Amino acid sequence: MGRLMNGREYLESLRRLKPTVYFMGRRIESVADEPMLRPHVQAAAMTYELAHDPRYEELMTATSHLTGEKINRFTHIHQSPEDLVKKVRMMRLLGRKTGSCFQRCVGLDALNSLYIVTYEIDQKLGTDYHRRFVEYLKKVQREDLMCSGSVTDVKGDRSLRPHQQPDPDLYVRVVERREDGIVVRGAKAHQTGAANSHEAVVLPTRALGPEDRDYAVAFSVPIDAPGLIQVFGRQTNDTRRLDGEIDCGNPNYGIVGGETLMIFNDVFVPWERVFMCGEHEFAGRLVEVFATFHRQNYGGCKTGVADVLIGASALLAEYSGIAGSSHVEDKLTEMVHLAETCWCCSLACSYLGHRTPSGAYLADPLLANVVKLNITRLPYEWSRLAQDLAGGLVTTAPSEKDLRSPEVGKLVEKYLARKKGVPPEHILRLFRLVENLSLGGQLPECMHGAGSPQAQKIVIRRRAGMEEKKELAKRIAGLERDEHLEKLG
């Protein structure tokens, strides 16, 4: 019988792992205690901690359809449209609580995608992948593991298919098949939360043909598996967290999700952890299902973060004495409108979710892509409005060290002053938070996370039902008969 970890237990579980992680040329000894990673770890810890808060239990936990036990929703397989709605409500809650990326959604989406597609592979080909995956999923649920959904390959020359690359390792591939398992080689880029995950769950990144059979591989390995190497990426103003608290903007939860380059340097995977191996005709289906789940999320988590940015903007206006101005109210209202538009899209694609042959539910693919395409645009506008409301100090504010300086600190305090009774430190903290949320890594992640805009446009065009729309126009224009109108006589 499993149990839900809390935040402190999650930190302790990371200390028991020994992943190979490098940052700026040095190996990180303890992910849980490394200052550069600590904010990201704490953001992920919130997904564990809130599961024990009675106020959020309905959103943060679920009942496993496999075991009947209470589990963290980040390990749950969606059993209804209501589950899909609770998923995005959970995302918004965590965005509001952290003001950052809490990282577990990629793994959740990978688990749900594999549950659906391994069932479909087995039904068509008579393989045994679904049973293997279900046994693995029980372990994830029982131990409350955080999974890194590892999808995006480094890709090399984008004009070439995987098997055509000059270096065949630019997409993750099988290099050896053995009696007891397979050996894989390659790399995955932009791996959110991977350094502080327990498991890596690997999926293909694109549709594949027969020549790319070795690249049609899905599997899981422990994050500290031999040969698995991660290089933690740089982020905007990341080393500020070494200089103090205020200049970080969001010192407790960081900037975006803490991404790594994940390198599989001949990693062995036992067969019980292999969920696709050569079935190239299902790679595109697996990618599409994953993309639907992951794009569904963005109107949840990003609007949660937007709630924090809107609040910071409103406070700065209040502290500056301009809260009642009509232009301020108009800009804040527009920020709310933009964020809630994205939220509506996430709710819509969730409510219109449908049951797949596996029994698990999938969000509406067309509307999920509309969610993500909006997120590639609207956060740029609400961030622009936040910068407009904040003013120039959002990029020119003095540092925390100057605020604390015995020589100039009092002068900095004097000239940061706004409304009477508001400490200058509060002003500086809010400016740094607005900087973090509107100028940091949030916006590139809005653009490229879960696929760049063209990827969404391709799916939207395919699923737009254009021929049906043409038929509607023909009937209304009188180019074709209207059987219902004819019945009116």
Q: Which residues have a catalytic role annotated?
A: 101, 105, 192, 259, 294, 298, 301, 445
Tell me phi and psi for residue 52, to 5 degrees.
-100, 0
Asked if 393 and 431 touch (Cβ cutoff 8 Å), the reply is: yes
Q: What is the dihedral of CA 36, 37, 39, 43, to 10 degrees?
A: 170
Spatial separation of the C-alpha atoms in residues 207 and 283, rounded to whole Å: 5
Spatial separation of the C-alpha atoms in residues 207 and 281, rounded to whole Å: 8
Spatial separation of the C-alpha atoms in residues 435 and 441, rounded to whole Å: 10
Looking at the DSSP assignment, which residues form a beta bridge with residue 354? 362
For the chain, the three-class secondary structure string (H helix, E strand, C coil) is CCCCCCHHHHHHHHHCCCCEEEECCEECCCCCCCCCCHHHHHHHHHHHHHHHCCCCHHHHEEECCCCCCEEEHHHCCCCCHHHHHHHHHHHHHHHHHHCCCCCCHHHHHHHHHHHHHHHHHHHHHCCCHHHHHHHHHHHHHHHCCCEEEECCECCCCCCCCHHHCCCHHHCCEEEEECCCEEEEEEEEEEEECHHHCCEEEECCCCCCCHHHHHHCEEEEEECCCCCEEEEECCCCCHHHHHCCCHHHCCCCCCCCCCEEEEEEEEEEEEHHHEEEECCHHHHHHHHHHHHHHHHHHHHHHHHHHHHHHHHHHHHHHHHCCCCCCHHHHHHHHHHHHHHHHHHHHHHHHHHCCEECCCCCEECCHHHHHHHHHHHCCHHHHHHHHHHHHHCCHHHHCCCHHHHHCCCCHHHHHHHHCCCCCCCHHHHHHHHHHHHHHHHCCHHHHHHHCCCCHHHHHHHHHHCCCHHHHHHHHHHHHCCCCCHHHHCCC
